Amino acid sequence: MKIKEKPEDFIVNEVNNLKMVVEGPYVYFLLKKTDLTTEEAVRVLAKKFGIKEKNIGVAGNKDKKAVTQQYISIKTNQKISKFKMQNLELTFLGFGKERICMGDL
């Protein structure tokens, strides 16, 4: 028997203490990804929404060969409530005054 034979064999859920506000420059999402690195997911999202990668904040990098959920912030004026593709999904959580940064776990 092999460990981590397929992404579904390893599941990672991030814990974060986001401080939500009614309005703010950052939009918080829960990012669910499968078989993608965090960097690959950020590149896909930046391209999809026409923003710079540096406008997407993450608290840490997650495994590629896994099903992971992590919190991200996006600095944008666009109204994004949900986004889904084959191996990547965004769920809107709310707004914040601060960018999510490495180590914010």
Which range marks the domain in which residue 41 is found?
7-96
CA gyration radius for the chain?
14
Q: In the chain, count of helices (H) and strands (E)?
A: 1, 6
Catalytic residues: 63
The domain tally of the chain equals 1
Q: Is residue 17 in some structural domain?
A: yes
Q: Is residue 101 in some structural domain?
A: no
Q: Is residue 25 in some structural domain?
A: yes
Q: Is residue 64 in some structural domain?
A: yes
Q: What are 45-72's pLDDT values in tens digits?
A: 999 999 999 999 998 888 787 888 899 9
Q: Is residue 33 in some structural domain?
A: yes
Cβ(39)–Cβ(82) below 8 Å: no
If one compares 11 and 88, the residue with the highest pLDDT of the two is 88
Q: Is residue 67 in some structural domain?
A: yes
CATH of the domain at 51: 3.30.70.3160
Q: What are 3-13's pLDDT values in tens digits?
A: 666 766 656 66
